[in-house]
Amino acid sequence: MAFEYIKALHIIFVVTWFAGLFYIVRLFIYQTEAYDKPEAEQKILSPQLNLMASRLWYIITWPSAILTLIFGFWVLYYRWGYMQLGFMHAKLGFVFVLYIYHLLCHRIFLQLQRGETKWTSTQLRMWNELATILLFAIVFLIVLKSIVSVAWGIGGLFALSILMMLGIKWYKKVREKNNN
């Protein structure tokens, strides 16, 4: 019975972690775009967006990432036999990439908190889609438990990624047209 509670907590923290990752990059976009606003607007927007990002990052996203890791290892302890299967190695590989993504988001977070913008809002929109791709890959792997099935899924993800990039470019053109 304890295993089900541990697994449930792992899933809950995965969900809150991804919610934080998705929203933090959206805040990065808003923070970056705030620097393009007139100075009077910047003085209002920047402190508020920095506060929102800081609260999200340190109160929700980081704790969720840490608790996901703790409960994930705990689940794996109960299902150690999965370590003999290739799908689990692939899943853990994607999870490792997700933690690298998280750390890179942390670097962007710190830069924006200092008022440094090194990414454009379009680059950040594309960056945000990487978390989506990782989510799909991890969920497909854990549910299907087959690398071959996941290969098809990842092929579909690449197609989805191309569609998302085209959508981002289209949205940028629509936004620019509406701003003129």
- For 85, half-sphere exposure in the C-beta direction (CA atoms, 13 angstrom radius) is 15
Closest to 90 in 3D by CA, of 140, 156, 131, 163 = 140
Between CA 136 and CA 156 the distance in angstroms is: 10
How many other C-beta atoms lie within 10 A of the C-beta of residue 82?
Answer: 16
How many other C-beta atoms lie within 10 A of the C-beta of residue 41?
Answer: 11
Q: Is 106 annotated as a binding residue?
A: no
**Angle, vertex CA 28, rays to CA 23 and CA 31, nearest 5:** 125
Using DSSP's 3-state secondary structure scheme, residue 103 falls into helix
* Contact assessment for residue 173 and residue 140, using Cβ atoms and an 8 Å cutoff: no
Of all residues in the chain, what percent are helix, strand and coil, respectively (each to 5)? 90, 0, 10
Binding residue ranges: 10, 91
Binding residue ranges for heme: 10, 91
